Amino acid sequence: MSRVVVAGSFNVDHVWHCGNLPRPGETLAGSYATGPGGKGFNQAVAAASAGATTTFICALGDDEGARLARRLAAAHGIDLRAQDADVATGTAGIFVDARGGNSIVIGPGANAALSQDFVAAQGKAIAAADVVLAQLESPVEAIVEALRLARANGAHTVLNPAPANAACSRELLAVAEVLTPNETEFASLLARHCGDSVDADALATMDGERLHRLCRTLLPRGTLVLTLGAAGCFVSHREDSLRGDGSAHYRCPAAEARTVDSTGAGDAFNGALAASLALSPAQPFSGHATFATRYAALSTEREGAAASMPNADEVAARYPGA
């Protein structure tokens, strides 16, 4: 049985669709919807939908948002391990424009209460995992504990260092076997930990050798997958650990998509990557990256975050040969 454990956040998303994203001081008319989200839950739903047996570790309040999380986890076959918190379940306000772009504000709520002790108490589930995936919408010490336990028990660890303004310590990078920043997160991490200043917007077209050197500077011992939106992703391995690939670095092009909402696309990529690593451990890493890229592309053809996650059969039908 291929197992993925996701440690992270659950939010109730409040989403407004409008023609353009509002400027400061501007009031716009739009349509409203609400549904499940949070990077952790989105990634857990993606991993489960992609075919992996999935456990989700989080913190929830005692409210309708928590009851929604429990119902949806059960509906997706996700083993929910939720710490009880004395504050409201997390929320997010999301604006989506006509081109599928978005702006997001998060109210952490219960997510900020996830404790190292509660994560440690889930040690049996983590020890049984093939892959443990985490992000940074939860306290750093809880995420370090999840990845530390995973490494101690031989599981692969994937860290999505998002959002970009979250604290990502050297201790956390040290327990990440695979790191998956987007352009903004990568530029922020380089500036914070390496003193390198790069233009996030220039990364998609940067020379591969130079980009590979920057990746090795930030994560000398692991694999870095830099997600580049419409430009796909860039993979950088340590020279003596190619994970079945023929090159230490390469680009994986984006899959064609009729984007209506990009909310959760990064989470789709991460959940699908974790599931692929768990389900097909002997496959070259390029195969995992290709599947994750296609999975994320298909998710943008649907509205919502967790609600937009496709299953593996849908990916195969949309992109033959996936």
19: alpha, beta or left? (left if phi > 0; alpha if psi -120 to 50): alpha
pLDDT tens by residue, 271-293: 999 999 999 999 999 999 999 99
Name the β-bridge partners of 37: 11
What end-to-end distance do the CA atoms of the chain give, in Å? 22
Structure tokens at 109: 């709520």
151: number of Cβ within 10 Å: 16
List, edge to edge, every strand of the sheet that includes 156-159: 79-84, 53-60, 3-7, 131-134, 156-159, 178-179, 223-227, 233-236, 249-252
Q: Is 117 annotated as a binding residue?
A: no
Helix ranges restricted to H, 121-264:
123-127, 140-152, 170-174, 183-194, 208-218
pTM over 0.95: no
Give the per-residue pLDDT at 306. 87
9 is in an annotated binding site: no
Q: Is the pLDDT of residue 322 over 60?
A: no
Q: What is the CATH number of domain 3-20+31-318?
A: 3.40.1190.20
Is residue 302 annotated as involved in ligand binding? yes
Helix axis angle, 183-194 relative to 208-218, nearest 10°?
Answer: 60
The pLDDT tens digits for 71-99 are 999 999 999 999 999 999 999 898 989 98
Position 305 scores a pLDDT of 83
Our answer to whether residue 240 is catalytic in this structure is: no
Joined together, the tokens standing for residue 78 give: 């996700």
Choice among 97, 240, 267, 313 that is catalytic: 267
Q: Is 201 annotated as a binding residue?
A: no
